[in-house]
Amino acid sequence: MSAPPSEARTVEVLGTRHSPGPDLPDHACDTHVHVFGPADRHPYAADRGYLPPDALPTDLRALHRHLGITRTVLVQPSPYGTDNTRLLDGLRTLGESARGVAVIDPGADHRELRAMDRAGVRGVRVNLGANASNDLERARERIRTTARTIAAFGWHLDLHLDAAALAAVDDLLPRLPVPVVLDHFAGIKPSTGTDTDTDTDTDSLARTCRLLETGRVWVKLSAPYRAAAGGSYDDLGPALEALLGTRADRALWGSDWPHTGGSPTTRHPERVEPFLSVDDGLSLTRLCAHLDASHLRQVLVDNPAALYGW
């Protein structure tokens, strides 16, 4: 086991205080983080949906050193579009301890993809949001085309989508030629108490469990504040129990650092949107309280090592 970062010390990173967190196994991995800026070196896409503050690899290292995390997966954030320069620069800075998930045009040039593979990219992200249920055929074709493009590299397809979008494409996923990873609890949200919410939540969780059973689909137990109104893994206990009980070998953990804020209705592409203040040490402690020793090692070490190639 790695040594605890500190007995009772908190660390401030990007203005947020982080608790020490739990004692973690060696080679623990955070499978979902982003790096941003500086904008004069890594400019954002003209059609970006929001403008984040800087969050540099040095900031990420400080947080992970504090938490006892030694492996990292950088995920391309949407403000950069398909320009993966910031991602690749981050991989060079972090070295062998890091892997990447890029965003590409569906028919991207294979020479470019080979260079990404050498740099440590192991997957491609497709951000569907709620659009899959609005334009079903376009979403399905984008998924199929991207999967065919990356299959030769042994990469996986990372899907960012909500529960309605997953329902619109779920039949397709196990038949793809690549593994599929579902971000942020696959869009599952605990019910708010109404019968309709309870039915929707139960259907979403059952659908995700059926996908995990195929062995072709993985789920990230990440960003509880996006899934649960209370913002905590304590609010997601039944979902955690169901997902781990179905296929614990298909579960991953990611912090979602640096916790981008706002929503499509409040963000402005020319106004800096502050990050949310999330105590990642406390969040990780709460997750680990729901995991026995076997599941802890699977989720934090063995599963990411298998998927990302350590």
Q: Is the pLDDT of residue 244 over 50?
A: yes
Of 202 and 141, the one with more pLDDT = 141
Reported for 52-55, long-range contacts at CB under 8 A and 24+ positions apart, including other chains, are: 52/77, 52/79, 52/258, 52/260, 52/272, 52/273, 52/275, 53/14, 53/272, 53/273, 53/274, 53/275, 55/14, 55/257, 55/258, 55/275
Mean pLDDT of 84-98: 98
Mean pLDDT of 220-226: 93
Mean pLDDT of 293-300: 96
Poorest-pLDDT segment among 79-83, 210-214, 268-272: 268-272
Poorest-pLDDT segment among 167-176, 208-217, 228-237: 228-237
CATH classification code of 11-308: 3.20.20.140
Of 223 and 265, the one with more pLDDT = 223
pLDDT at res. 228: 77
Highest mean pLDDT among 118-127, 135-144, 263-272: 118-127
Confidence grade of residue 229 (pLDDT, cut at 50, 70, 90)? confident
Mean pLDDT of 187-197: 58
Can you spell out the DSSP letters for 33-89?
Answer: E--B--TTTSPPPTT-S-BPPPB-HHHHHHHHHHHT--EEEEE--GGGTT--HHHHH
Q: Which amino acid is at 87?
A: L
pLDDT at res. 23: 94
pLDDT at res. 191: 55
Whole-number percent of the chain with pLDDT over 90: 80
Highest mean pLDDT among 62-71, 133-142, 224-233: 62-71
What is the reported pTM?
Answer: 0.93
Poorest-pLDDT segment among 98-112, 160-174, 189-203: 189-203
Q: What is the mean pLDDT of the chain?
A: 91
